Amino acid sequence: MTNVPMVKLNNGIEMPQEGLGVLDAGNFDEVKQAVLDALETGYRMIDTAQAYYNEEAVGAVLKESGIDRSDVFVTTKVWISNYGYEAAKDSVEKSLKKLQTDYIDLVLLHQPYGDYYGAYRALEDLYEAGKIRAIGVANFMPDRYVDLVQFSKVTPAINQVETHIFNQQWSLRKYLDKYNTQLESWGPFAEGKNDFFKNETLKNIGLKYGKTGPQVALRYLTQNGVIIIPKSVHKDRMAENLNICDFELTDEDLKSVRALDNEETLFFSPHNPETVEMFAKFVKTGDFDFREDGE
């Protein structure tokens, strides 16, 4: 099995630094196969969400894989239609059943809208009850992140946000470091935007190590301490994405990749009123599609 480095979270538990994201990974059978392939390849962390509608497929694999439950780190996320204390608590109980497990390793609040305070209180209580091993948030920018930290009992262990070579989140990291919250990247390949897969800087660095540009991008993130969840439904690509621990970028390499940072989102800004309206519409209509709008 590939030796994936472990990252210690602020409550002392450890999680693999790389896992498989299953956003938009297909129907039940396709997601199930992708997760099985990932586990066979050496992955031991799977990232799903209530809003991905594939917790059941992940749960089926956990039950059938033959791998001890304690050896697979599972993340899910509470969707904003389930915010508020009681609704969030009930939704996590439903996620537990769908995942066919007695506990979830990490549960995040998926977006910083609606009654996320009530939802976070629910996560705190479920954490204290031992049904969740760690709790955190996703897509919380510095203002809302710091606000939540100041008025919560349990500091988020993770903040999962858009993080890739074109949006490296250095401003956010300053506050995550201050309060000891781990940065986790969604979209480490920038969903192919900005000609990511043809980027000459990444390609030229990769040639020195016999690696691809995407492998360099992933290594850049992990070498900077970021947890990553690249998505793929192809077993050979999964293996390639995991094969990034046998080389180290030099200071010059790191400087070159850091220079690619535009400090701008390629998907949506949590600060824009239009973004709030978009997510409010998702909740009210139940109609949303992450393929256009990001995580």
pLDDT in tens, the chain (295 residues): 458 999 999 999 999 999 999 988 788 999 999 999 999 999 999 999 999 999 999 999 999 999 999 999 999 999 999 999 999 999 999 999 999 999 999 999 999 999 999 999 999 999 999 999 999 999 999 999 999 999 999 999 999 999 999 999 999 999 999 999 999 999 999 999 999 999 999 999 999 999 999 999 999 999 999 999 999 999 999 999 999 999 999 999 999 999 999 999 999 888 889 998 988 887 787 665 544 444 5
Residue 283: predicted pLDDT: 79
Asked if residue 236 belongs to a domain, the reply is yes
Predicted confidence (pLDDT) per residue in 134-163, tens digit: 999 999 999 999 999 999 999 999 999 999
Asked if residue 85 belongs to a domain, the reply is yes
Asked if residue 6 belongs to a domain, the reply is no
Asked if residue 9 belongs to a domain, the reply is no
Identify the helix (H) or strand (E) that includes residue 21.
Answer: strand 20-21
Q: Residues marked as binding for substrate?
A: 110
Determine which one of 43, 52, 113, 145 is catalytic: 52
Q: Domain of 216?
A: 14-286
Residue 287: predicted pLDDT: 63
Supply the pTM of this predicted model: 0.94
Asked if residue 120 belongs to a domain, the reply is yes
Residue 284: predicted pLDDT: 81
CA nearest neighbour of 120 among 157, 94, 174: 157
Q: Is 43 a catalytic residue?
A: no
Asked if residue 212 belongs to a domain, the reply is yes
CATH of the domain at 221: 3.20.20.100
Asked if residue 173 belongs to a domain, the reply is yes
Q: Which residues of 36-65 are buried (b: 16+ CB within 10 A; e: fewer)?
A: bbbbebbbbbbbbbbbbebbebbbbbbeee
The sign of the CA dihedral 112, 175, 185, 141 is positive
CA nearest neighbour of 166 among 203, 191, 135: 191
Asked if residue 255 belongs to a domain, the reply is yes
Task: Look at the chain and report how many structural domains it folds into.
Answer: 1
Residue 289: predicted pLDDT: 53
The sign of the CA dihedral 204, 189, 182, 161 is positive
- For residue 202, count other CB atoms closer than 10 A to its CB: 25
Question: Do 104 and 76 meet the contact criterion of CB atoms below 8 Å apart?
Answer: yes
Take residue 83 and report the two structure tokens written for it.
């915010």
